[in-house]
Each structure stands twice: as structure tokens, then as C-alpha cells.
Chains A and B, each alone.
Chain A
């Protein structure tokens, strides 16, 4: 029996090594450049694909390990290209804006990998000389697992040497602590950032390449790994490589033993661990308060809308109300989707733009609203309107519970705790089949008979989402909104003048959640069904992209962002290779308007002398 548990421990440690490789690269990149790199999973996938191509061509032991190293090097150069061509141009954008660019890269890499390597899963060869199992305490252990258990700590040691014993390492550590100071001391930041990105990409590629003997290389690898990688980075503390190693060991070993006791738990285990760690240690195990934020620059105050703006807004509202006259059977469907997306994005913007609390899990409250409304109809037999009311109530309740924990953190750690909360809720809807239907969802939630005409439902959506948008605008300009904005720009000063900032942030969190719940309940009656996808990471990321793409520093930003996202996606999905095209469009917007669409429009108006410069 002893042998069995020891073997299980070794299995966990082998997994920890692979997880560590990808997470350490992510952590290093974030520490120095502050880029939340969604494309890290794509680099991992590319590393695996390139390694597959190489090790199936090069013969023997030498060929295998050469292939692995070359694949990692190639990935490093791809990373360098991404950094030089795209990210370098947008480091001065608002915090997290670079995330939008990496999202575009993810889309392009997905289509490129499909075009180059085809759709079928590729099973590479096992590692030569390490292709069998040895018996330890009578239990069979794959030799390759033992090799991985060695490789992980060796890489950790090499990174440690690189960081402690080289000038480059000293600069990287300095930049992780205070990159402005490093710049002020005359260090060439371009070179530093590019080389850091290369090292991170190298590790991602190495992680991917080393997976070839363990699993098939496939097109879903990128998105399957990225969630776990972020969890490991956060538990360890953003920017800490040692932390990433410890966290990878904790997660992997916990999972290895977890499946023995409660096999269902592996779905949400990493996120549970992350939530617990963040509640106990707000900056992760090895993180410091400095690792939560980049330098925060106070934003320009919000301006009241000029008369011309009010006129334009009124015309847009009237135009929207007349839309049913122009319906061709589909325009209203798109219109309703657009309204839902706008309210969802605006509610997220209330949280992150006005309140300064970035959320990576806002879809949780959208989904709670949608599920609550659906369950109210299906289980309680309520009519449509009361059911729609229940949506935001449930969402507000969820936001109240999770928000209480989240507002105790700040910056990226807060964002990751919201992500953990969303994943836990997602896990519940996914597994609680008797109530939520699990993956089969809840069906048959259509509007009441009197609202079944498309135009009628469009007006309901217009009224509810329009009201939601107006409320958000009102909140932003109210004294309460001033407190939130003040807390965002300087928490210290806000507290110093006697404001209970946490309480205000908590209330802001609940309001934003409730408004997302309104969007969710409008959504569910327009689609007739709801599935766990509405709460999943992908949907949260969509919201984040809308807000950032639109411009986080303007109340109109999320509306522009949602409109651009929904309309471009609807159009582009008709084409072949739409992911690559969508990715290129996103990158184009990002490069043309590094302060978001709203910022770009503002500069355009200034250029046309329609507005005085800010």
C-alpha cells in the first residue's frame, strides 16, 4: 500500500514538472512586462507541434532531444516576433490592454496550426530509451515520468542561476519590482522586454515539446492549459518562479490524491485551491504587493456629456426604437444580441473602469441571471416578467457572496479570485445535473405569448438594457461613483479622508453583478435555452475584450467595444479562416487605437476640430 501512494506521489510530481514549465514562463513575462499573456497557451501548443514535426524527422535519442530544444528555440523566436511587432507598440496603453492583442494572437495561431498541421490529433513517438516503466516498490512508473521529475527542478535551478548570477537576471528582477525605476536608470527596456518575452516563450515551447511523448498534439491544447497555468502563477505569486514551482507541485499532487477520494473534483480543484490561497495570502505564496499592479496613473475625470453628445445619443435611441420597421427577419435578432452585449460590457466596465476592480469572471453573474430566470420559469413556473426580475436578484446575491472576498484584494489578484469564483460556479452548473441539466442545459425558456413577437421582445430588451445603461451612467456620475473612482485612483487617499472604501467597492461589485444579471435574463429569453458556456471563462474573456477594445477610460468605450465585437464576429464567422481574419482585425484596431476605440474616436474628433483637446 505504501508503494501505491508513493507511486501516486511520483505521478503527481511528474505532472507538476510539465505544469511548472509553462507557468514559469507566464510568470516571468508578467513580472517584467505586466502583460497578461493569453497567447502563452498558443506558444505551448506551437512548441508541441514544432517538436512533433522535428522528432518525427530526426532519428534516435540525439534527434529526440535536439528536436525538443530546437522546438523551444523556435517558439522563443515566435515569441520575440509577437513582442516586437505587436506588444512593444502598446506598452503605454491602459493596464491590461495588451491582453486584447494576445487574444488576437490566440485566434491567429489557432487557424495557422490548423492550416499547417491539419485537424487530426497527432501522436508523436515516445522518448527513446525512456519508453518503458520501471518498478518502484513493485509499482510500475514510466521512465519518462522520472525524467520529467528531474527536468523540472533542473530548469528551476537554471532559471535561478540566470536570475541570481547574471547581469540580465539582476535587471529582470529589478524590473519585476519597479520597471519605471529601471528605465530611469538608463537600462534599454526594449532589449530587456524582448529578451524576457523570449525566455518566457522558450519555457512555454519547452513545456509543449516535452508533452509530445505523453499525449497527442491537438488543436485544443492552447485553451486547455491556459486556465491551469494562470492558476499556478497566481498561487505562486505573479512574477515568482519559485512560487510557480511550489504551486505546480501543490496542484498536481493534490489532484493525484484527489481523484482517489473524489474523482469528480478534478474539474474545479485548481480553482478551489487558488481561492483558498488568495483568501489566506492575498498576493499568492511568494508574491509581494508590488506584483499586483503596474504603476497606476490617475485617470482623467469623467466629463458630462456635451449638448451635441446628448443630441447624438437621443438620435441613436430613436433610431434603435425604429429598428423593427427595417427588420428583415434577422436584424432584430442581431439587435437584441447587441443590446445584451452592451449591457454586459457596460456592467463589467462599471466594475473595472469606474471601480478599478478588474474581473476575469464577470460572466458568472451574467450566467447566474440567465440560470435564475430559466429556473424560475422551469421549476417555479413563474411567468416571464417575474422570472426576469429574479435574474438580477440572484446575480446580486452571488456577487454579494463572492464580492465580499474579492474586494479584499486588488489588481491582478482580485481579477484571478473573480476567475476562481466564476469557475466554481461554472463547475456547479456543469455537474449539478438534476437542477441545472449539466451540459444539456435548460431548454424551452421562451418569451411569454404576448411577447413572442420578435418586435415586442426587442422593445423589452431595449427598455431593460437601455435602462441598465442609463443607470450605469448615473452611478458613474453620482457621489457614489466619485468614491469608486477616487478609490481606483488612490485607495490610500480615499481611506485617509474617512471613506470605507471596501464597503463602497463591495456595493459596486454587487451593482455590477446585478446589472450583468439583467443582461443574462434578457439573453436567456432571446435564445430559449441556457448552457454552462454562459458562465465559462470564454464568455468572461469576451466581455473583457469588449471593454478593453472599446476603451476603458470612457463610459462609451464598452458600448463601442460591444458593438464592434458582436458585429465583426457575426460578419466574420461567415468566412473561411474567420479566426485568423478576426484576429488580424483585432490587432489592427489595437495598433491603430492603443487607447481603445473610444480613445481613437476622441482623437479623430479632436483632429477634425469637432472637440477641444482634453
Chain B
């Protein structure tokens, strides 16, 4: 047994050496100049289309930070791992990063359930976790905890941005279509609530809940058509969205109707539709290279130079994640978790999207999103008539947010 265990441990050690050579080499050096280790987890294989741009984003930021001398003379080292899309695996990896690799904090995750699993682990193991991409508002409200901060504008914020635009149209009867899981139901609930607040006499006449990535688009489109709504609120995405758009436009579902669609302006969702992308849908998203603010342009150009493609939503979320870590580590006097947590409260981050801060009351960043319409320019789908919606304006007030949080957090 001894030999078996010894070989096993040697194997693991050899592996760790092979995978993260930098983790071991500088350990011999003095603390000065030794890298600051940061853990990162995401669904790189399961959700490749969304996590690839995200990874490119944080890698660009990391390169820039370390080229400029790192944080107080210490480079940042990211230990990045794939969770394969499974929450249990994500927790195992988080455990390894925190308890064996002794990282100072964890960031990342895309899928909501994995974000929640890691957030719960962070709470238990008293480690700071910056949830980059998950949209579920459970993370910051009902299941929020003091160790978890969330960067991207969540379901409620994005739905509120769209409800504001939807209220300006004269559509009175609405049909909704959303994937049949927590994200879909939360988004529909938020949209209904916000739109009814702005326009109390709207009516919701039809709901369709196709299974995620298995939509029977033809039948669903016809069920929506049957209810003859003035407006349609769509939450489907990815492959489902493509099918829905194809079947819907063939059957004339979108003719003379207001369509409001969550996230569909993000290049990850819009670009695959190509010339078939619907025009005039009201969406949240990211106009990419078209954003020409002084903060954004250098980022977009550097991104294009490094990766040979325009940045996507994931890119900017990844980049902003790393900028958050930079701001945090520069400001924090040491790497103790308690110090990091105090520093995170109200932390102001300079980023391509413009400055944002992390609200102390619910740990949500005030980073916003772009709201506009879909259009086709030169045969390629883009966002038109867009504006940047600052996240702060779409969050509940601090007093209301406090009521949403569990006690003693």
C-alpha cells in the first residue's frame, strides 16, 4: 500500500509540475517578486463558444498587467481549469485551487448552477470568489454571501433594461418564450414585473417553455402565433435561437410585431445568425468595435491585434474580471481574505466599459450593458441605435437590495 500511495502522490506531484511549471519554480525565490496566485474555473469544453472569448479577454488583461510590472512588483499568475460543465467537478477543482495551490481568490464560471456551487463553496471555505459571467440573481440576493461578488449585469438588470424599451412601444399583449430552467423563468418573471410596473395594463397572453437546446421550433412558433400577441419577449439563445429565428421568419411570426430579446445583441448569439439575423429586435448586447469611447478603443484595438478578431461579450467580461483583480490587489495592503473582502466593498474599477464599482450592499458590480436594436450592415448582423445602459440605474435601491439578502451576510 505504501508503494501504491507513494507512486500515486508522486504521480500527482509530477503532474502538477508538468501542468503548472511556474507554480513551483518561483517558490524557491523570496516572497518579493513571487507571483500572486489566482484561481480560475470555467466551462471551457462544455460551453466553448462563450468561454473562448472570455478566456482571450482575461489573458489579454493579464499580459498587459504583467508586462507593466505586475502588482507592486509581483506578477499575477492565473491557475485556470476546465470544469466540464459539472458543478460537482467545479467544487472539486475549487477545493484543489484553494487548499492545495493556496490561491488568493477564485474567479470565473459561466453557467449559473456552477456559479452558485462555487459561491457556496467560497462561503464555506472563506475564500473570495468573483463570479464573472453567471446571470442568476440568486448569487447576489437570495443566496448571496459575503465572499461572493458578481461582475456581469444579471438577469434582473438586463430584463429591466429591456422592459424600459418595451414600455415605450405600443404593444399591449405579450407572448413570452424562454428555455425551461431557472434562467428562463427568472428572466420572464423579471420582465413581467418591470414591464407591468411601467405599464400596468399590459397583458401576457401566451408562454412557451421549450427544453434547453432541444426546442421544437416549428410547433413553438405556431403556438405563439396562435395567441396573436402585439409583442414577443424571447429568452432562448444559442442553437435554440437560430432555430426559432429560422422557423419564425419563415412563418411570418415576427412581421409587424415588437420583439424584445434578452442578450441577443451579444456577438456570441448574433453573429452565427449571419444575414438571417432579424432586424429591428430590441436587444441587450455589445456592439463590439463600434463602441468608440476613449476607454474602450484601446482595449478593442489591443484585443484585435492580439487575437485577430473583434472582441465579444465574453472578451469584455473576461477583461473586466482581470481589471477588477488588478484594482483589488493594488489597493489591498495584503492578501488575507478579510483584507480582500474589505477592499472589495465599494471597489472602483477602471475598465473599457467605463468605471464601475462593486456595491457594498449586495456585492453586485454596476457594470452595465448596451441596449439597442438588431440590424444588418454590409450583410453582417450588428447592433444599431444603441446606447450604454449604466448598471446602477437598473439595480434595486440599496435598501430594497438589503431586504433581498439573507440575514447576517
Tell me how far the C-beta of A450 lies from the nearest C-beta in chain B, rounded to whole angstroms: 15
Determine the distance from Cα of A504 to Cα of B232 in the docked complex, in whole angstroms. Answer: 55
Interfacial residues of chain B within 218-233, with CB under 8 A of chain A in the complex: 218-220, 222-223, 226
Among the stretches A63-71, A302-310, A529-537, the one at the interface with B is A529-537
Interfacial residues of chain B within 196-229, with CB under 8 A of chain A in the complex: 207-211, 213-214, 216-220, 222-223, 226
Complex: chain B residue closest to A255, CB-CB: B216
Contact between B2 and A319 (Cβ–Cβ < 8 Å)? yes
Determine the distance from Cα of A120 to Cα of B52 in the docked complex, in whole angstroms. Answer: 10
Determine the distance from Cα of A443 to Cα of B406 in the docked complex, in whole angstroms. Answer: 13
B252 CB-CB contact with A under 8 Å = yes
Tell me how far the C-beta of A322 lies from the nearest C-beta in chain B, rounded to whole angstroms: 8
Complex interface: chain A residues within 8 A of B81 (CB) = 573-574
Complex: chain B residue closest to A431, CB-CB: B180
Determine the distance from Cα of A533 to Cα of B143 in the docked complex, in whole angstroms. Answer: 19
A123 CB-CB contact with B under 8 Å = yes
- Contact among B84, B91, B210, B273 with A529 in the assembled complex (CB-CB below 8 Å): B91
Contact between A123 and B219 (Cβ–Cβ < 8 Å)? no
B82 CB-CB contact with A under 8 Å = yes
Contact between A329 and B100 (Cβ–Cβ < 8 Å)? yes
- Contact among B15, B211, B251 with A266 in the assembled complex (CB-CB below 8 Å): B211
Contact between B243 and A4 (Cβ–Cβ < 8 Å)? no
- Contact among A8, A11, A224, A531 with B213 in the assembled complex (CB-CB below 8 Å): A224
Interfacial residues of chain B within 63-94, with CB under 8 A of chain A in the complex: 81-82, 84, 86-89, 91-93
Contact between B242 and A119 (Cβ–Cβ < 8 Å)? no
B4 CB-CB contact with A under 8 Å = yes
A602 CB-CB contact with B under 8 Å = no
B contact residues, range? 35 or more
Among the stretches B28-36, B113-121, B325-333, the one at the interface with A is B113-121
Complex interface: chain B residues within 8 A of A431 (CB) = 180
Complex interface: chain B residues within 8 A of A220 (CB) = 213, 238-239
Complex: chain A residue closest to B238, CB-CB: A121
Contact between A440 and B116 (Cβ–Cβ < 8 Å)? yes
Residues A142 and B211 in contact in the complex (CB < 8 Å), given A256-B219, A441-B117, A528-B124: no
Contact between B15 and A571 (Cβ–Cβ < 8 Å)? yes
Determine the distance from Cα of A280 to Cα of B220 in the docked complex, in whole angstroms. Answer: 30
A299 CB-CB contact with B under 8 Å = no
Determine the distance from Cα of A433 to Cα of B273 in the docked complex, in whole angstroms. Answer: 32
Determine the distance from Cα of A578 to Cα of B44 in the docked complex, in whole angstroms. Answer: 11
Interfacial residues of chain B within 133-157, with CB under 8 A of chain A in the complex: 136, 138, 143
Residues A529 and B120 in contact in the complex (CB < 8 Å), given A121-B272, A140-B250, A574-B15: yes
A81 CB-CB contact with B under 8 Å = no
Contact between B99 and A266 (Cβ–Cβ < 8 Å)? no
Complex interface: chain A residues within 8 A of B11 (CB) = 571
Contact between A224 and B120 (Cβ–Cβ < 8 Å)? no
- Contact among A4, A12, A330, A444 with B226 in the assembled complex (CB-CB below 8 Å): A4
Chain A, interface SS category: helix
Complex: chain A residue closest to B96, CB-CB: A330
The residue among B48, B88, B98, B208 with the most chain A CB atoms within 10 A of its own CB is: B88
A129 CB-CB contact with B under 8 Å = no
A contact residues, range? 35 or more
Contact between B1 and A318 (Cβ–Cβ < 8 Å)? yes
Complex interface: chain B residues within 8 A of A528 (CB) = 91, 117, 120-121, 124
Determine the distance from Cα of A218 to Cα of B214 in the docked complex, in whole angstroms. Answer: 12
A446 CB-CB contact with B under 8 Å = yes
- Contact among B84, B87, B92, B246 with A215 in the assembled complex (CB-CB below 8 Å): B246
Complex interface: chain A residues within 8 A of B91 (CB) = 527-529
Complex interface: chain A residues within 8 A of B183 (CB) = 439
Tell me how far the C-beta of B6 lies from the nearest C-beta in chain A, rounded to whole angstroms: 9
Residues A142 and B247 in contact in the complex (CB < 8 Å), given A267-B211, A573-B82: yes
- Contact among B92, B102, B181 with A570 in the assembled complex (CB-CB below 8 Å): B92
Determine the distance from Cα of A438 to Cα of B185 in the docked complex, in whole angstroms. Answer: 10
Contact between B243 and A216 (Cβ–Cβ < 8 Å)? yes
Contact between B239 and A441 (Cβ–Cβ < 8 Å)? no
Contact between A142 and B1 (Cβ–Cβ < 8 Å)? no
Tell me how far the C-beta of B366 lies from the nearest C-beta in chain A, rounded to whole angstroms: 24
5 A–B pairs (Cβ distance < 8 Å), ordered by A: A11-B219, A126-B246, A133-B252, A439-B113, A440-B112
What 3 A-B pairs are tightest by C-beta distance, nearest first? A329-B99, A319-B1, A119-B48
Q: For the A-B complex with A11-B218, A132-B250 known, give 6 more contacts whose Cβ atoms are closer than 8 Å.
A: A8-B219, A123-B276, A142-B247, A263-B207, A523-B88, A528-B124
